């Protein structure tokens, strides 16, 4: 106990003992010790109850009351309660000021911020930007279901995903069809979500300008490159022995530039599309074609293995999927030293989907480079890529093709041990195989 409280307690105790002693002396003097002592005790009890009643009234009162000026335990209790209430009021003022500051900061954000109750999916609060971007109006939409307020956006299934909800990169704003929004769902507590909507209209417009520029430049370069390459093909190095090194290098670089332009046009065409024509893709024939292409590209310098373990076909665009798979197979051969092994595997995934994986025993890739491999023109080793004839666009094409098929690309690699590039397709893309296995492929396992 602090010294001040101990001193107050002692003073109160001494005062009570003194009162009882005085009652005993007075009782002896008049000859009624018991009666006087009982009256003194009852008086002390009544006084204690009166002080307790004052404390309870002070706790229940909202108005400010000054504590007593005495030195006893009850006065010290009044002072402690008064100080605690003053500190609590100061703390509440600070919290209110912080809350107002946070709300002012949230209102100043250009992004729409909506606080949503996790269990009921109802709106608890939103900032001013949510009015312009999402059409929410205060107080009309407070407490309303967020999915209903943001129609025609289809958010019911997205909200149901909760922590697993992927960001919606491009959505039409409910208030203006010309606005494009990026939506993110951020669970910041067990009971609340934060719905953040950002206006990405200008970014998408700039991205479209960039795509148009690349497509137009690539298209304009195609004709002069075709002409130059055609004339170079007409020049036989055997007829001009002294020019042979120059002619061969010019033909090689011309071919590389032509391939680069074709890849840019392919990438631009993929980026401009939201979907692809779908048809059953015969994977047995596709795998056999990929093996033949790998062996032709390798020219006998590698071992190419094929493992068809899925026994299923895929739903999608045969042309685009062949382009993506061929890029992976070609890269595996290109970056694997002579004598290495390239393995093409089609297997079923635990969720009922399918996985096409291309594994090699090549140089491998450091972990720091893996997140950026699908960027355009990103190269782990520029000299090695140029020597092997790569354009730096193959994995970008693969990523876009898989995106149009609602699939994803995973990459695993160890330096000096090799790499594995795997295309993961969902169960909705898997179809029962009806054709026979292609020649040279391993027997397909029974589909689960």
320 and 266 share one domain: no
Residue 359 lies in a domain: yes
pLDDT at res. 30: 85
Residue 439 lies in a domain: no
Q: Which runs of consecutive H residues, i.e. helices, occur in 61-181?
A: 73-108, 129-134, 146-149, 156-161
266 and 340 share one domain: no
Q: Which of 43, 67, 102 is the last residue of a domain?
A: 102
Q: What is the CATH number of the domain that holds 113?
A: 3.30.450.20
Report the C-alpha dihedral over residues 28, 30, 33, 35, rounded to 10 degrees: -170
Give the DSSP H/E element, type plus range, for residue 294. Answer: helix 283-298
Residue 448 lies in a domain: no
Confidence of residue 123 (pLDDT cuts 50, 70, 90): very high
Residue 276 exposed, middle or buried by CB count within 10 Å (0-12, 13-18, 19+): middle
pLDDT at 122 exceeding the cut of 80: yes
pTM equals: 0.56
pLDDT at 443 exceeding the cut of 60: no
Give the total number of structural domains in the chain.
Answer: 4
Name residue 358's beta-bridge partners: 344, 421
Residue 444 lies in a domain: no
3-state secondary structure (DSSP) of residue 319: helix
Token representation of residue 329? 């197979």
Residue 353 lies in a domain: yes
pLDDT at res. 440: 40
423 and 302 share one domain: yes
Q: Which domain holds residue 238?
A: 205-271
Q: Which of 135, 167, 199 is the last residue of a domain?
A: 199
Residue 447 lies in a domain: no
Q: Which of 199, 231, 254 is the last residue of a domain?
A: 199
**Which strands form 279-281's sheet, in the order they lie side by side?**
279-281, 312-316, 430-432
Region 73-86: what's the mean pLDDT? 78
pLDDT at res. 412: 93
Residue 440 lies in a domain: no
171 and 188 share one domain: yes
Determine the Cα–Cα distance for residues 344 and 306; give it in Å rounded to an integer. 5
Region 147-154: what's the mean pLDDT? 84
87 and 166 share one domain: no
Region 286-315: what's the mean pLDDT? 93
3-state secondary structure (DSSP) of residue 1: coil
310 and 421 share one domain: yes
pLDDT in tens, 321-368: 999 999 999 999 988 999 999 999 999 999 899 999 999 998 888 888
Q: What is the CATH number of the domain that holds 315?
A: 3.30.565.10
184 and 263 share one domain: no
422 and 285 share one domain: yes
149 and 37 share one domain: no
254 and 140 share one domain: no
Residue 20 lies in a domain: yes
408 and 354 share one domain: yes
11 and 91 share one domain: yes
């Amino acid at each position: 106990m602090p010294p001040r409280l101990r001193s107050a307690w002692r003073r109160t105790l001494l005062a009570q003992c003194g009162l009882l002693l005085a009652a005993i002396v007075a009782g002896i003097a008049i000859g009624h010790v018991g009666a006087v002592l009982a009256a003194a005790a009852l008086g002390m009890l009544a006084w204690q109850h009166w002080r307790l009643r004052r404390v309870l009234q002070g706790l229940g009162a909202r108005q400010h009351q000054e504590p007593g000026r005495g030195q006893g335990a009850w006065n010290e209790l009044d002072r402690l309660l008064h100080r605690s209430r003053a500190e609590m009021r100061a703390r509440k003022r600070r919290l209110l000021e912080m809350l107002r500051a946070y709300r002012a900061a949230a209102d100043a954000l250009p992004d729409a911020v909506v606080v949503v109750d996790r269990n009921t999916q109802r709106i608890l609060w939103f900032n001013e930007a949510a009015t312009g971007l999402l059409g929410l109006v205060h107080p009309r939409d407070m407490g309303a279901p967020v999915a209903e307020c943001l129609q025609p956006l289809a958010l019911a299934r997205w909200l149901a995903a909760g922590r697993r909800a992927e960001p919606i990169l491009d959505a039409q704003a409910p208030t203006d069809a010309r606005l494009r929004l990026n939506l993110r769902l951020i669970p910041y507590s067990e009971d609340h979500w934060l719905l953040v909507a950002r206006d990405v209209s200008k970014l998408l417009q700039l991205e479209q300008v960039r795509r148009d520029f690349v497509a137009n430049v690539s298209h304009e370069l195609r004709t002069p490159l075709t002409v130059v390459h055609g004339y170079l093909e007409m020049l036989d190095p055997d007829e001009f022995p002294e020019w042979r090194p120059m002619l061969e290098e010019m033909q090689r670089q011309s071919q590389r530039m032509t391939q680069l332009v074709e890849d840019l046009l392919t990438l631009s065409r993929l980026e401009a599309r939201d979907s692809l024509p779908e048809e059953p893709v015969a994977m047995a024939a596709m795998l056999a074609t990929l093996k033949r292409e790998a062996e032709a590209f390798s020219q006998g310098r590698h071992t190419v293995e094929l493992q068809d373990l899925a026994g299923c076909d895929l739903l999608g665009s045969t042309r685009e999927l062949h382009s993506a798979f061929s890029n992976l197979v070609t890269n595996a051969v290109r970056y694997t030293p002579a004598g290495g092994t390239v393995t093409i595997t089609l297997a079923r995934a635990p969720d009922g989907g399918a996985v096409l994986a291309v594994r090699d025993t090549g140089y491998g890739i450091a972990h720091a480079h893996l997140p950026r491999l699908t960027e355009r023109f990103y190269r782990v080793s520029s000299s090695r890529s140029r020597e092997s004839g790569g354009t730096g666009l193959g994995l970008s094409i693969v990523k876009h093709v898989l995106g149009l098929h609602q699939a994803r690309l995973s990459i695993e690699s160890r330096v000096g041990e090799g790499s594995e590039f795997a295309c993961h397709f969902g169960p909705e893309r898997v179809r029962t195989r009806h054709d026979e296995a292609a020649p040279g492929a391993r027997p397909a396992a029974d589909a689960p």
